[in-house]
C-alpha cells in the first residue's frame, strides 16, 4: 500500500480500513517526516513513525531496515500512545538494521536547506536526508550498533567522527560526542526490548500464512529514484522499496495498492504541473483541509494529474487504486483532469525525467461535468451521482488502473469497496 502521487494521499485511512484483516503492518522507508492524523476516543493524535496498525489490538507493527529512526521521536510516540491507554509492548518491532537519525542530522538538514536558498527542497527538517546520506556513505549508526557499549568501540568511534564532521560544518556551539554517546546508552536501554531481526521475523510469519501489509510513506513522485528529483525525499517510497526496506523477496508482495486523491496536492517545493494558485486552489485546500499533518504547512492543490498516476501505476505495478477525498469535489460545476502535458511545442503523455522540462510543462485538460448531489458518506458505488461515476470511470481509463476502493469522507465507514474488485479479498479474514 503506497502513495501514487506526491504524498498525503490519505493512506492512513486506507491502512485503518484494511488493518483488521491483516496480522502485521510493516513500514519500509522514510521516518518521522510522515504524518497520519488519527482520532482515539475523540482525541486527535498524529502518528509519524509507528504504523497506525498499532491502534488495532493484536496487530504487530514492524519498523523495517529501510526506515530511519529518531529514537526520541519514537519514544515520544510510544509515550503518547501509552497516555491514550495503548500499550505497544510485544506489538512493536524495530529492525536492528534500521539507521538512526541523530541530533546532528536535524541540524545538517536545516543547514543544507538554508544553503540552497531559493532552490531549497522544503524538507520537513527532521534530518531524513542527512541520515540516509550517512547510510549510503557507510558511516551511519544502526539500531543494532547501540548494543556496543565499549568506551572506544565502533559505535563510540563512529559517533565521535560524525560529531566532529558536524562541528566543522555547523558554525555555532560545539556538540560533544561523549554527551551523545551517553544519551545513546540510555536510548539502548529503552529500545532494546523492541529490537529484532525483522526480515527473519517477517519471513517466518509469511511462511506461516500470516497476512502482512507493507506500508509506504510519502508518495511515488517523492521517491528518490522515480520522483521529481531533486525535489524528493531520500528513500524509495515505490513498491520495490518494500522488498529492500524489509528484507523480503519481491515475490512476497502479492498485490500493490496505490492510494491517490481525486485531485492533487503537494507540500514543499518542486514542479506540480496541475497546481491551482487562485480561488480554485483555495477552495480545494479549504474543503479538503489540506494542511500538512507533520509540519502544518498549507498544501499546494491542483486538478487530478493522470499522467502522474499512470506513471505511478507503471513504476509500482499497481493492481488497483484507492481513490480518496472524492467528496471534496462535491458541488463543483466542472472538474478538470490532466491527460497530457504540453511542453516546447510537444505533447507528452509520459512523465518526463528532466525536472526543467517538467517545470516548463503546461497541463492538457479534459473537462468533465461536476455533480451537485453530495457523495459524502456514500458507501454504494451505484448511489453516487452519475457524473461522479463517470469521473471515476474516466480516471480509471486514463490512469490505467481500476479504482477498487473509493473514500467519500474521513470516517472509516465513508468508503466504497467495489464489488468483484481485488479489494474484496483484502477485506476477508483475520478480522478482530
Ligand atoms: P524530507 O523527507 O523531510 O527530506 O522532505 C523532502 C520532501 O518530501 C519535501 O518536499 C517534503 O515536503 C516532502 N515530504 C516528506 N514527507 C512527506 C509526507 O509524509 N507527505 C508529503 N510530503 C512529504
Dist. CA 235–CA 387, nearest whole Å: 38
> 109: CA distance to ligand 1 center in Å?
12
Query: Atom 12 of ligand 1 has which residue's CA nearest to it?
Result: 268
> 351: CA distance to ligand 1 center in Å?
20
- pTM for this prediction: 0.96
> 376: CA distance to ligand 1 center in Å?
29
Local structure of 24: helix, strand or coil: strand
49 neighbors 86 (Cβ within 8 angstroms): no
- C-alpha cell of residue 258: 496505490
* Residues pairing with 18 in the sheet: none
**DSSP calls for 196-212:** E-HHHHHHHHHHTT--E
Residue 257 CA, chain-centre distance (Å), reads 13
Local structure of 321: helix, strand or coil: strand
Q: Taking CB atoms and a 6 Å cutoff, what residues make up the pocket around ligand 1? A: 7-8, 33-35, 121-124, 126, 128-129, 217-218, 222, 231, 233-234, 267-268
Query: Atom 11 of ligand 1 has which residue's CA nearest to it?
Result: 123
Composition of the chain by helix, strand, coil, percent to 5: 40, 20, 40
Closest CA to 361 of 233, 218, 228, 224: 228
Local structure of 366: helix, strand or coil: strand
Residues composing the chain: 432
> 285: CA distance to ligand 1 center in Å?
18
**DSSP calls for 36-99:** EEEEETTEEEEESSS-GGGGSTT-EEEE-TTBEE-HHHHHHHHHHHHHTT---TTTEEEETTPE
Element (H, E) at 18: helix 11-18
Dist. CA 139–CA 373, nearest whole Å: 57
Largest CA distance in the chain: 70
Q: Return the active site residues.
A: 8, 36
Closest CA to 33 of 101, 120, 97, 96: 101
Digitized pLDDT (tens) for each residue of the chain, 432 residues in all: 999 999 999 998 999 899 999 999 999 999 999 988 877 777 777 899 999 899 999 999 999 999 999 999 999 999 999 998 899 999 999 999 999 999 999 999 999 999 999 999 999 999 999 999 999 999 999 999 999 989 999 999 999 999 999 999 987 778 899 999 999 999 999 999 999 999 999 999 999 999 999 999 999 999 999 999 999 999 999 999 999 999 999 999 999 999 999 999 999 999 999 999 999 999 999 999 999 877 788 999 999 999 999 999 999 999 999 999 999 999 999 999 999 999 989 999 999 999 999 999 999 999 999 999 999 999 999 999 999 999 999 999 999 999 999 999 988 899 999 999 999 999 988 766
Q: Which of 10, 33, 235 to mutate to test the pocket of ligand 1 (most atoms within 8 A of CB)?
A: 33
> 61: CA distance to ligand 1 center in Å?
22
Task: Indicate the pairing of strand 334-343 with strand 346-348.
Answer: antiparallel
Query: Atom 1 of ligand 1 has which residue's CA nearest to it?
Result: 123
Dist. CA 108–CA 140, nearest whole Å: 14
Atom of ligand 1 nearest to the CA of 126: 3
| Other Cβ atoms closer than 10 A to 44 | 8
Amino acid at each position: 500500500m503506497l502513495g501514487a502521487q506526491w504524498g498525503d494521499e490519505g493512506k492512513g485511512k486506507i491502512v485503518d480500513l484494511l488493518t483488521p484483516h491483516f496480522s502485521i503492518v510493516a513500514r519500509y522507508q522514510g521516518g518521522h517526516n510522515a504524518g497520519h492524523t488519527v482520532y482515539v476516543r475523540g482525541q486527535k493524535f498524529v502518528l509519524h513513525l509507528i504504523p497506525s496498525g498499532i491502534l488495532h489490538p493484536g496487530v504487530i507493527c514492524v519498523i523495517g531496515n529501510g526506515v530511519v529512526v529518531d529514537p526520541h521521536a519514537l519514544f515520544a510516540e510510544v509515550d503518547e500512545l501509552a497516555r491514550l491507554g495503548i500499550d505497544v509492548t510485544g506489538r512493536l518491532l524495530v529492525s536492528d538494521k534500521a539507521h538512526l537519525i541523530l541530533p546532528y542530522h536535524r541540524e545538517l538538514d536545516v543547514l543544507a536547506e538554508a544553503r540552497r536558498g531559493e532552490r531549497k527542497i522544503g524538507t520537513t527538517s527532521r534530518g531524513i536526508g542527512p541520515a540516509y546520506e550517512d547510510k549510503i556513505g557507510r558511516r551511519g549508526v544502526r539500531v543494532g550498533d547501540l548494543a556496543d557499549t565499549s568506551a572506544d568501540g565502533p559505535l563510540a568511534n563512529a559517533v565521535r567522527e560524525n560529531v566532529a564532521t558536524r562541528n566543522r560544518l555547523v558554525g555555532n556551539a560545539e556538540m560533544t560526542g561523549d554527551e551523545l554517546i551517553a544519551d545513546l546508552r540510555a536510548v539502548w536501554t529503552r529500545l532494546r526490548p523492541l529490537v529484532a531481526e525483522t526480515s527473519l521475523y517477517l519471513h517466518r510469519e509469511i511462511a506461516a500464512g500470516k497476512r502482512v501489509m507493507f506500508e509506504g510513506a510519502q508518495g511515488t513522485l517523492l521517491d528518490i529514484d522515480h520522483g521529481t528529483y531533486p525535489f524528493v525525499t531520500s528513500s524509495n517510497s515505490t513498491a520495490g522499496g518494500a522488498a529492500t526496506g524489509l528484507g523480503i523477496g519481491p515475490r512476497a508482495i502479492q498485490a500493490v495498492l496505490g492510494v491517490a486523491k481525486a485531485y492533487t496536492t503537494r507540500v514543499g517545493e518542486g514542479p506540480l504541473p496541475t497546481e491551482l494558485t487562485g480561488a480554485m486552489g483555495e477552495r480545494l485546500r479549504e474543503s479538503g483541509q489540506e494542511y500538512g499533518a507533520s509540519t502544518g504547512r498549507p498544501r499546494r492543490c491542483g486538478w487530478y494529474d493522470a499522467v502522474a498516476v499512470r506513471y505511478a501505476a507503471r513504476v509500482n505495478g499497481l493492481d488497483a487504486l484507492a481513490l480518496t477525498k472524492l467528496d471534496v469535489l462535491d458541488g463543483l460545476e466542472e472538474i478538470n483532469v490532466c491527460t497530457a502535458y504540453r511542453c516546447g511545442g510537444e505533447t507528452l503523455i509520459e512523465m518526463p525525467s528532466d525536472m526543467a522540462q517538467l517545470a516548463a510543462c503546461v497541463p492538457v485538460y479534459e473537462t468533465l461535468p461536476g455533480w451537485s448531489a453530495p457523495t459524502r458518506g456514500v458507501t454504494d458505488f451505484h448511489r453516487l451521482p452519475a457524473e461522479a461515476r463517470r469521473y471515476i470511470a474516466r480516471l480509471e481509463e486514463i490512469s490505467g488502473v481500476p479504482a477498487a476502493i473509493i473514500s467519500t469522507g474521513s470516517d472509516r465507514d465513508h468508503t466504497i469497496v467495489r464489488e468483484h474488485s481485488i479489494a474484496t479479498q483484502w477485506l476477508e479474514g483475520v478480522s478482530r
